[in-house]
Structure 1
Amino acid sequence: MAQGNSRFAVVAALVGNGVITVAKGATFLITGSGAMLSETIHSVADFLNQLLLLIGLVRADQAPDKRFEYGYAGERYVWALISAVGIFFLGCGVTIYHGVQSLFHPPTLDMGEMKWAIGALLFALVIDGIVFILALKGEWKNAALHGRPFHHYLRNEADPAAVAVILEDGAACLGVIIALISILLTQWTGQHYWDAIGSIGIGVLLGGIAVWLIIRNQELLVGPSIPPQTKEQVTRILKNNPLIEEVIDLRSRILSIDNYRIKADLSFSSEELSRRLKKKALAAYPEIKTEQDFEIFCQKYTEDVLETLAEEIDKIEAEIQRQIPEAQHLDLEAN
């Protein structure tokens, strides 16, 4: 479900930004506005970055094989990280550079043609706003399904691809507003530095988003533990089982947003295990007449112990996966 929502959001953003890029680029060629060039660069960066996100989502869907036995889910974080770096250098770096250059060497602007810039920006605001709302609604539903506050889910559990779309299109909407303000101030005052300031403001906005996305994807590539609430839920399931005496060690790692690996070292109760096997042992006890009978009894009893433990571990794993579907890789060991 999360993967499907992310792909829909990325494809919608990709199509939207393709249309917007053409509109903004044509308007820049007509007006020569630095803010419009920044907005065009912004949209080009968004388009390319969302293309990278889509590549990551497609590659992450590959089935596990002998080379990558836990699958390719991490691919989405690699491509999302490349996308974030692209936003930083192409979106932020080039935009700020152009803004600073325009501040010291103002371009010649045709104020009569600025209406084209305003029209293109309003068109972009509508498209970006639609994509932003669609992506926001998808993640809002996911947060509600997980029973998490939206801001917490977005920061710690949401797919970085969907978060990137939300942030990029949210920034695009804000960037359009900044560009509109700078163009209108340039028209009203006749001072070209407002256009350059708008360009720099858009670059700073993109830089902040890029840094956040880089940090988030770096965390996921390193492999953080599962959310604390989920870890507490696993611990509770284990401790509520009468056969488990103690949870010695519990470690986890997020392989992807819907794929967790959980490892637990458990101490099993000898008293509970003995109680469960008592009837079988008592039934076999009268049959022990010779040393050979005793050896057969010991062998059978050992097999019963191992079988009981294996069955109980299977039941525990099934219960964990029932309550936490993301726990796809479980490793429960008796200590």
Structure 2
Amino acid sequence: MSPTIFMIILSSLATGTIITMTSYHWLLAWIGLEINTLSIIPLISTTHHPRATEAATKYFLTQAAASAMILFSSMTNAWETGTWDITQLSSTPSHIFLTMALAMKLGLVPVHFWLPEVLQGSTLTTALIITTWQKLAPMSLVYLTINSLSTTVLLLMGLMSTVIAGWAGLNQTQTRKIMAYSSIAHLGWMVAVSSIMMNLMVMNLIIYLIMTSALFQALIVSQSKTIQDTTMTWALSPTISILTMALLLSLGGLPPLTGFIPKWLILEELVTQNLIPTATMMALSALLSLFFYLRLTYTTTLTLSPNTTTTKFKWRLKPNQPTQPMLIATTTSILLLPLAPLMLM
């Protein structure tokens, strides 16, 4: 892909998200989502491979259906109330349609099946964009309409997402599918707390974006597409290998690291609201996710797969990717825990 076309696509991607995040009219929000969807399709299918074409088709159909549902929800609300204002969503059918549409946009259970398949058919760079930037527009709509959405439905979807994503991720050997289920689980935590304390959801989203970006950049630099590939990260760079281990443990939510902040505060808030069974189930589901993070940690830093002698000299080849963004994101996502009190003020 030529640099000009690539820049046009990226600028369209950014424009679509910004239009949705700053709009107050349902039609403007829908237009932003459509621009966003249409600009990511060429990035997914840029490798000219049948898997990439399949992933692009699945992504387009899913996102088009979700956008159509958002448009239908807003039209139903405008028909009943006479307003197109995003914050004035008072029709009950509109609530139901909007909740399902946003769940489909984000990839929440039970409409999550497209996300692992789309990521598996994409390149690691495109998968990074889908799991980070593409979550901003739907999350901004959740932020704007949270007073209209059902707390019970959001809690149920968040609980199902954390449990099912943790369960499904156990059986995966592809790093992109593991990251897809990791994304579903993290979004489940965000959605569960969104109707109770919005500040926590925003903080969780920011930390998730930083940690996921850092781990994807580490996978891109080391070219690790499967669990077996991660066993050779040490040969490319022992430093990246150690940082990847700390990143994975942070994503799992172990206490000294950044990923512990959101889980700790969300569980505390759920217990404060007397949702003790929900908090217990979500804490147990975090153990499922932690298992496949620990497995990746083990293969990345502690094992060496059977290989020829020549592969041990991979360190002679310098990485052809810039490592400065990875360094910044990695450091932030590992060492942010002491700043937790400042983030909550």
Which has the greater radius of gyration? 1
Relative to the length of structure 2, the TM-score reads 0.32
What TM-score do the two structures reach when normalised by structure 1? 0.33
